[in-house]
Amino acid sequence: MKDWRSYFPFLFKKKEGDGSLRETIEELIEEEEIEDTSLAPDEREMLTNILSLRDLTAKDLMIPRAEIIGVSHDSSLEQVIAVFKSSQVMRLPVYRQTLDDILGYTHLRDLIDSTSTPKNFKIQAHLHKIDYISPSMRILDLLLKMRSTGEKMAIVVDEHGGVDGLVTLNDLVEEIVGDIQDVAQMSTPLHFFRRPDGIVVVNGRMDIEELEKKVGAIRTEEEKEEEIDTIGGLVLHLTDRIPQRGELIAHPSGIEFEIIEADSRRIKRLEIHGLPDNPA
């Protein structure tokens, strides 16, 4: 079987000055233990779509603020363990009062290796540094930064210093490598795809105003006042939880959202049923 690197010549072809980036991506992929990503010959042609990833920014890949799962700095050991169990993630941001004051993150491994008891447990003793980045930071630049610092998580902040979202190393590597099959199946932009039967497939991170420009108004007046930024955020507003794959969620407008892909943190992809044939 051919080495997976042979399918990514634009990432690994050596050019003057790009050795660091090429080696960084290669090492990150190996560290994340990603399996062989060989594709059939007729699919390799579609790998050119991956070039669009070069233009993606932290804002494109971030977990929106409303979907961030974290723990307070004064949480008990039992509370922290409970959040780890319910969220099924390995790292949790730790904040003081609100998400706009994040102290760092804690790793599940820290608690497993800890000798702390419920009585003397202090989460501050298990904090890792977390970086703050701009929404416009390119994901390849962020990969280089994470590689050089060893950090696995970054907080996206707006111009006023407020927290907009969260980016993890796993998300970056998955976007570059893990979603190649999806990219190969879609020649249109990753965030939006209209099927011949009228059903629209969207990325959960797609900006809801951008979506409404394509399909017509979706939100109610009340939902517009809730400052919901993404279509995934709208579904979370309807369910107040992360829905499971295959679930159908009805909207007051008469359309339905079907969850195609979701994990413990967010809705990744969904279908929209019942949209008008001729959107306003």
pLDDT per residue as tens digits for the range 122-166: 888 889 888 899 999 988 788 888 888 888 899 999 888 889 999
Residue 279 lies in a domain: no
Residue 4 has pLDDT above 50, yes or no: no
Interhelix angle 208-215/231-239, nearest 10 degrees: 100
- The reply to whether 33 and 125 lie within a common domain is yes
The DSSP call for residue 230 is B
Residue 278 lies in a domain: no
Q: What's the domain count of the chain?
A: 2
Domain span holding position 77:
1-187
- The reply to whether 149 and 221 lie within a common domain is no
Residue with tokens 């603020």: 65
- The reply to whether 31 and 55 lie within a common domain is yes
- The reply to whether 141 and 253 lie within a common domain is no
- The reply to whether 94 and 173 lie within a common domain is yes
pLDDT of residue 20: 55
Task: Supply 195's token pair.
Answer: 């099927």
CB contact at 8 A, 167 and 62: yes
pLDDT of residue 187: 36
| CATH number for the domain harbouring residue 143 | 3.10.580.10
Domain end residue (candidates: 168, 187, 206): 187
Q: What share of the chain is helix, strand, coil (3-state, %, to 5)?
A: 40, 20, 40
Residue with tokens 């339905």: 256
Among the listed residues 137, 270, 139, the one whose alpha carbon sits nearest the alpha carbon of residue 211? 270
- The reply to whether 200 and 243 lie within a common domain is yes
Cα distance between residue 235 and residue 251, in whole Å: 9
Cα distance between residue 227 and residue 235, in whole Å: 13
| CATH number for the domain harbouring residue 195 | 3.30.465.10
Residue 108 lies in a domain: yes
Domain end residue (candidates: 137, 159, 187): 187
pLDDT one-digit tens code per residue, 89-133 = 888 999 998 899 999 999 888 877 776 677 788 888 889 888 899
- The reply to whether 180 and 91 lie within a common domain is yes
